[in-house]
Structure 1
């Protein structure tokens, strides 16, 4: 991840697991901001609008689970 953030996205057919390997991230899911640090896991349910906010940085592992 770089500090630019990402646009909103929605995955209608699968959940998405986000594991922050290192760094820090602010994840916005349906208007709720979730602060994440290294080692944290968050699962975004299918159909939920989400994005990574500006200023987040580090290594992020994404896993899509049908």
Structure 2
């Protein structure tokens, strides 16, 4: 029997920050949830855009072209090749969509291991 994915329930299963968890897959993409707090490192993706949607809290995405502030229900897509870093003053919950296998830092050597939940 098919089941809906409850994002709040998935987010309740972990507490670490900056550690994306795959909750579903879609046409060769991972749909993930992540808890964030503080600053992530500056990075870019050569081959893919970067999708961020805020589920709870607020984040600022700093880019080489200026900053974008996001609150609950807002999303932003960073075009491939643009240097950026997400920042959250307080804990925030996000949904991310990326091509499967995309390292979250843009570099396989420094990327967080993405797990399914």
Alignment TM-score, normalising by the size of structure 2: 0.51
Q: CA deviation at 1:42?
A: 0.1
Task: Choose 1 or 2 for highest CA Rg.
Answer: 2
Q: Which runs of 4+ in 1 moved over 4 A?
A: none
| RMSD (Å), alpha carbons | 1.8
Q: Distance in 1 between matches of 2:58 and 2:96?
A: 15
Q: Which has the higher helix share?
A: 2
Unmatched runs of 5 consecutive residues or more in structure 1: none
The structure in which a higher percent of residues are strand is: 1
Question: What TM-score, normalized by structure 1, do the two folds share?
Answer: 0.85
Instruction: Verify the 8 A CA contact 2:58 2:88 in the aligned structure 1.
Output: no
Higher relative contact order (CA 8 A, sep 6+): 1
Q: Structure 2 stretches of 5 or more lacking a match?
A: 1-35, 100-117
